[in-house]
Structure 1
Amino acid sequence: MDHEARITLRLPADLHTWLVTEAKAARRSLNSEIVYRLESERAATKADGTSP
């Protein structure tokens, strides 16, 4: 990552709870979990040749 951008993100409470649980299970911070999932999805989208 060359540059970072700070954002405010509003999530439904149940999605937040699920992400926190997933992050803990993977021993990642919530921020790292969100970035990991977004990057994984981006890589899968590029591999499929589809556009988001």
Structure 2
Amino acid sequence: MIRFSLRIPEDLHERLTARAAADRRSLNSEILHLLEVALTDPGTRAGSPGSDPTPPVPLHGKPDSSPA
């Protein structure tokens, strides 16, 4: 897995943190989930301008990293 730093506005961080808590996910898992959903949107079809012709690869690891 690739690791990198990302700078985001405070208000976006607050929204992501709240959404992660509501979905019982870690912040990292929530961001990965949202990115995967956005990149597998049916509106993003293969062959459309700017689309990636390769099918998305499912994410590995636990979908919910909160304690049981």
Q: TM-score, normalised by structure 1?
A: 0.82
Q: Could you tell me the percent identity over the aligned residues?
A: 43
1:8 aligns with one of 5, 8, 20: 5
Deviating 4+ runs (over 3 angstroms): none
Runs of 5+ in structure 2 lacking a partner? 52-68
Matched, 1:39 2:54: no
Q: TM-score, normalised by structure 2?
A: 0.64
Provide the C-alpha distance between the structure 2 equivalents of 1:26 and 1:39, rounded to a whole number of angstroms. Answer: 15
Q: How many residues align?
A: 47
Matched, 1:28 2:25: yes
